[in-house]
């Protein structure tokens, strides 16, 4: 019965619009799902290059057992590195240079992802290193070579070995920014390590197992390794290793989720509108079936079954089309980004089906249930009042269905909940405003004439339809604008953080009395005066009067979080002091001391750190600084944007509190790339300074940010296009009444122009209302999402609301005019026949 009904309706051309809307909706959700899924995985892969592999296990003891076993799984390659501190010696007895440095022995094949960038002379041209150092040779970090005054061909003494310097390393594939660690780094072949005689009982060796391969195999390895980790071992992810990359990647992920959510909202809108029309058009046939004795149950089974079949067919078409589409987009993207994009998974396809069926049934079922109540009389009198499906039922079912879908797609409870609340609030405001507009127009219309009166009268008279259209269009626009606003915020952020002028040198260990000469040195070279931040090293000794132990009393800390906390407790901290905060620091709780110098020492602590340490506002924390005790109260928590590439301190102390302690100063500055001699001149003038060159890291971060931005842009435009098409489908699905009335006006002698004016005025009113509301709602929601989900600062820009209003008018008028264009050129009898069916 359902099948027959479907075939009949299809043959009659009845299903074109619903099918079209549904296919488009599933296509949009699935294609965006495919693209975001692939993009997400590609970014994770790409970002992991910053670790030298796809997954890394760190340990204090040789990495044997489960982890080593897991690394041998098919589809995986693995290698290892070992690191330890060591003395580095250059030159012969008369002219010996010695420095304490970091030794890194590289296993064959390292790095599995990324590469070393090396030069032959300190300011020579960069190139990719081939593999690892050959046996008998070493590489030195460029800064290290500078500091040790070592040249290519020099012999470097490491332990008992003499190794020849064969390259200077500019960039390590897996280097983190650690501007406090300025020791030279030396790289040698792992096979040369035993001969140095440095590996002995008790040497402080760190082992690193690096794994890479097919995404599935890597995911399998991570699962197995996580369970089989032994004492002193941990999994490292790019997010631990590179905090400055973490927020960029997290935000990109969240943006992709947002895009996916937006596609669901749009799909729901389109399908809801089409389902509404579908049920309206089935009223007559239902009445006939009632006359012929069909039971309510038969009716529901027939129409429900038809809907289900339709949903399956449309979803299949949508998923297949989406697959081809993402294939094209994926190929293009991988070419454009020069990065390896993993193949599409099957999850988005399942989600596509789910969305298609859930949305169709949520929005299609209530009207069908309402069909049961169609009186048989409807067959006799076409003019009988339509049985509008009880709108609250549609609304409730819709919101519930949407909620479930959003939850499923969001991946983050916060994002899902924010979106859901935003949508409900927007719907409420839209409906209220729509009713408001309707009553205003009702009052106004007697003053209007002709086409305008007719057009605006429609807005107020077709109240239910108008409200439905305003809310549908408004919600759709809101979703698209939201995506636009968040995208703009996001990209701006990255642009600012990684601007050309971002600091590329960290200068460490400036002494108290070197501050002025430093400033003079910069001024002589036309460089801006550096901001110098004092830095005092202190060890945490007590929290709220309780002594902090170096290690917990019993057992190993269990969770990763605890371990991180443990590592942090053991560390020495760089305490700094400041009277004001830069814009990359934001106070999130308590009050910052500002210009008033507090009488007693106060602390301002980074919020994530405070929570991992269990510190709260008002807590008292004590540090041991060179044997003296400093106790201070936590009076504010801060959020820090680490990707700003500037010196940032987890713990800030109020001005004056550090006065008695010996401080050194640190600064970050931008040195134009053509000033190749800057570092050597600076070091020549102030030999105690350490200059850390982060150009290479910046470049890496920039290239990742560029890739992330491109992905965000592509997904954005893709979603925008899909969204506009889906909105068109939604508007198109609600034009029957207008087509009918247009036909009648044509009969009465209305000209093209008059009809257009009437329709345009109606669409413009609907568009303006939904556009303005959508833009206001999107601005607010973007604000909430930007600050709460993306951790971005946000400022309301009400000009955007005007832009949104304009966009709404444009969208409604063009989509509406397009949908009703038939009525202009077709003879009225054709229009009337078609629409009445």
Partner 1 sequence: MPHDLAMHTKVQPDPQRLALQVSELGKRVSLPSGALTILDGVGFSISHGDTVAIVGASGSGKSTLLSLMAGLDTPSSGSVLLDGEPLSALDEDGRARVRGEKVGFVFQSFQLLPSLTALENVMLPLELRGDADVETPARAILAKVGLGERLGHYPRQLSGGEQQRVALARAFVTRPAVLFADEPTGNLDTRTGQAIVELLFSLNAETGTTLVLVTHDEHLAARCGRRLRLDGGRLVTGERQAS
Per CB under 8 A, residues contacting partner 1 are 11, 381-383, 385, 449-451, 453-454, 457-458, 460-462, 737, 740-741, 744-752, 754, 824-830, 832, 836
Q: d(Cα 278, Cα 6) in Å, to the nearest integer?
A: 12
| Shortest spacing between CB 428 and partner 1, in angstroms | 25
Q: d(Cα 484, Cα 719) in Å, to the nearest integer?
A: 10
- In contact, 690 and 509? CB cutoff 8 Å: yes
Torsion angle, CA of 541/542/546/548, rounded to 10 degrees?
Answer: -40
| Shortest spacing between CB 431 and partner 1, in angstroms | 19
* Phi–psi pair at 271, nearest 5 degrees: -70, -35
CA-wise closest residue to 571 among 613, 627, 529, 599: 613
Q: Of 49 and 445, which has the nearer Cβ to partner 1?
A: 445
- In contact, 141 and 169? CB cutoff 8 Å: yes
Q: Beta strand 602-606 with 628-640: parallel, antiparallel or unpaired?
A: parallel
Q: d(Cα 269, Cα 472) in Å, to the nearest integer?
A: 6
CA 455, chain centre distance (Å):
43
Q: Of 83 and 834, which has the nearer Cβ to partner 1?
A: 834
In the block, tokens 């070592």 appear at 150
| Shortest spacing between CB 253 and partner 1, in angstroms | 48
| Shortest spacing between CB 736 and partner 1, in angstroms | 12
Q: Of 201 and 383, which has the nearer Cβ to partner 1?
A: 383
* Phi–psi pair at 424, nearest 5 degrees: -65, -45
| Shortest spacing between CB 457 and partner 1, in angstroms | 5
* Phi–psi pair at 700, nearest 5 degrees: -60, -45
Q: Of 66 and 826, which has the nearer Cβ to partner 1?
A: 826
DSSP letters for 30-89? HHHHHHHHHHHHHHHHHHHGGGTSSEEEEESS---THHHHHTTSTTEEEEEEEEEEEEEE
| Shortest spacing between CB 738 and partner 1, in angstroms | 10
| Shortest spacing between CB 462 and partner 1, in angstroms | 6
**Furthest CA-CA distance within the chain:** 114
CA 829, chain centre distance (Å):
53
Q: Of 174 and 762, which has the nearer Cβ to partner 1?
A: 762
DSSP letters for 568-608? HHHSEEEEEE-SS--TTEEEEEE---TTS--SS-EEEEEHH
| Shortest spacing between CB 749 and partner 1, in angstroms | 2
Q: Of 127 and 453, which has the nearer Cβ to partner 1?
A: 453
Q: Of 240 and 737, which has the nearer Cβ to partner 1?
A: 737
Q: Of 351 and 735, which has the nearer Cβ to partner 1?
A: 735
| Shortest spacing between CB 255 and partner 1, in angstroms | 43
- In contact, 489 and 655? CB cutoff 8 Å: no
Q: Of 591 and 829, which has the nearer Cβ to partner 1?
A: 829
- In contact, 304 and 365? CB cutoff 8 Å: yes
| Shortest spacing between CB 828 and partner 1, in angstroms | 5
| Shortest spacing between CB 808 and partner 1, in angstroms | 22
Q: Of 659 and 748, which has the nearer Cβ to partner 1?
A: 748
- In contact, 269 and 730? CB cutoff 8 Å: yes
| Shortest spacing between CB 380 and partner 1, in angstroms | 9
SS3 270: helix
Q: Of 517 and 827, which has the nearer Cβ to partner 1?
A: 827
Q: Of 9 and 741, which has the nearer Cβ to partner 1?
A: 741
Buried b (16+ CB within 10 A) or exposed e, 51-90: bbbbbbbbbeeebeeebbebbebeebebbbbbbbebebbb
- In contact, 504 and 674? CB cutoff 8 Å: no
SS3 626: coil
Q: Of 94 and 385, which has the nearer Cβ to partner 1?
A: 385
| Shortest spacing between CB 466 and partner 1, in angstroms | 10
């Amino acid at each position: 019965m359902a099948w027959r009904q479907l075939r009949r309706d299809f043959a009659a051309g009845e299903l074109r619009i619903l099918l079209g809307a549904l296919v488009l909706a599933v296509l949009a959700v699935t294609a965006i799902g495919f693209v975001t899924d692939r993009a997400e995985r590609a970014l994770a892969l790409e970002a992991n290059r910053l670790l030298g592999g796809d997954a890394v296990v760190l340990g204090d003891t040789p990495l044997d057992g489960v982890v080593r076993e897991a690394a041998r799984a098919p589809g995986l390659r693995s290698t290892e590195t070992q690191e330890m501190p060591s003395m580095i010696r250059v030159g012969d007895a008369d002219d010996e240079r010695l420095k304490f440095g970091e030794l890194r022995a590289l296993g064959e094949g390292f790095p599995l992802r990324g590469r070393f960038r090396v030069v032959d002379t300190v300011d020579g041209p960069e190139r990719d290193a081939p593999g690892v150092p050959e046996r008998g040779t070493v590489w030195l970090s460029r800064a290290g070579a500078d500091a040790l005054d070592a040249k290519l061909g020099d012999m470097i003494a490491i332990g008992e070995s003499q190794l020849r310097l064969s390259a200077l390393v500019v960039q390590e594939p897996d280097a983190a920014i650690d501007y406090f660690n300025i020791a030279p780094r030396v790289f040698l072949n792992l096979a040369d390590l035993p001969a140095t005689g440095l590996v002995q009982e008790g040497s402080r060796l760190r082992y690193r197992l690096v794994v890479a391969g097919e995404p599935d195999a890597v995911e399998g390895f991570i699962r197995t390794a996580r369970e089989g980790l032994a004492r002193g071992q941990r999994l490292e992810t790019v997010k631990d290793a590179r905090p400055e990359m973490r927020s960029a990647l997290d935000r990109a992920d969240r943006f992709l989720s947002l895009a996916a959510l937006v596609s669901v909202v749009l799909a729901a809108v389109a399908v809801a509108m089409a389902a509404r029309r579908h049920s309206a058009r089935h009223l007559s046939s239902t009445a006939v079936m009632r006359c012929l004795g069909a039971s309510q149950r038969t009716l529901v089974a027939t129409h429900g079954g038809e809907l289900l079949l339709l949903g399956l067919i449309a979803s299949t078409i949508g998923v297949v089309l989406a697959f081809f589409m993402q294939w094209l987009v994926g190929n293009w993207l991988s070419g454009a980004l020069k990065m390896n994009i993993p193949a599409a998974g099957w999850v988005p396809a399942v989600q596509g089906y789910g969305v298609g069926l859930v949305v169709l049934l949520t929005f299609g079922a209530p009207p069908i249930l309402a069909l049961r109540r169609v009186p048989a009389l409807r067959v006799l009198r076409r003019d009988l009042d339509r049985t509008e499906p009880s709108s609250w039922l549609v609304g409730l079912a819709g919101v519930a269905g949407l909620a479930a879908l959003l939850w499923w797609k969001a991946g983050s409870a916060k994002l899902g909940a924010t979106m859901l609340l935003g949508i409900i609030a927007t719907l409420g405001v839209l409906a209220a405003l729509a009713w408001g507009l309707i009553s205003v127009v009702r009052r106004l219309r007697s003053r209007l004439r002709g086409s305008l009166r007719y057009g605006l009268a429609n807005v107020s008279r077709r109240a239910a339809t108008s409200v439905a259209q305003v809310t549908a269009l408004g919600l759709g626009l809101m979703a698209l604008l939201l995506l636009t606003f968040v995208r703009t915020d996001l990209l701006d952020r990255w642009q600012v953080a990684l601007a050309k002028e971002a600091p590329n040198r960290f200068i460490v260990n400036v002494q108290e009395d070197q501050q002025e000469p430093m400033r003079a040195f910069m001024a002589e070279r036309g460089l801006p005066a550096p901001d110098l931040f004092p830095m005092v090293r202190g060890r945490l000794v007590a929290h709220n009067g309780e002594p902090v132990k170096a290690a917990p009393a019993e057992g190993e800390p269990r969770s990763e979080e605890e371990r991180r906390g443990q590592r942090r407790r053991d560390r020495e901290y760089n305490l700094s002091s400041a009277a004001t905060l830069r814009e990359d620091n934001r106070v999130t709780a308590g009050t910052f001391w500002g210009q008033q110098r507090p009488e007693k020492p106060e602390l301002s602590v980074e919020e994530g750190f405070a929570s991992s340490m269990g510190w709260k506002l008002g807590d008292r924390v004590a540090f041991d600084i060179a044997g003296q005790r400093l106790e201070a109260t936590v009076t504010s928590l801060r959020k820090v944007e680490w990707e700003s590439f500037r010196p940032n301190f987890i713990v800030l102390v109020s001005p004056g509190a550090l006065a008695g302690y010996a401080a050194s100063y640190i600064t970050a500055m931008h040195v134009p790339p053509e000033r190749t001699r800057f570092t050597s001149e600076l070091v020549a003038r102030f030999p105690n300074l350490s200059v850390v060159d982060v150009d290479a890291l910046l470049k890496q971060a920039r290239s990742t940010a560029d890739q992330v931005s491109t992905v965000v842009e592509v997904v954005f435009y893709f979603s925008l296009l899909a969204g506009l098409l889906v909105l068109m489908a939604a508007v198109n699905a609600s034009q029957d009444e207008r087509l009918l009335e247009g036909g009648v006006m044509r009969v009465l002698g209305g000209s093209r122009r008059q009809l257009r004016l009437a329709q345009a005025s109606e669409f413009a009113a609907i568009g303006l209302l939904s556009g303005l509301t959508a833009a206001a709602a999107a601005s607010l929601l973007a604000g909430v999402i930007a600050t709460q989900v993306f951790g971005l600062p946000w400022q309301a820009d009400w000009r955007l609301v005007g832009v949104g209003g304009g966009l709404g008018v444009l969208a409604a008028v063009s989509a509406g005019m397009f949908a009703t264009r038939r009525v202009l050129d077709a003879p009225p009898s054709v229009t009337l026949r078609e629409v009445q069916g």
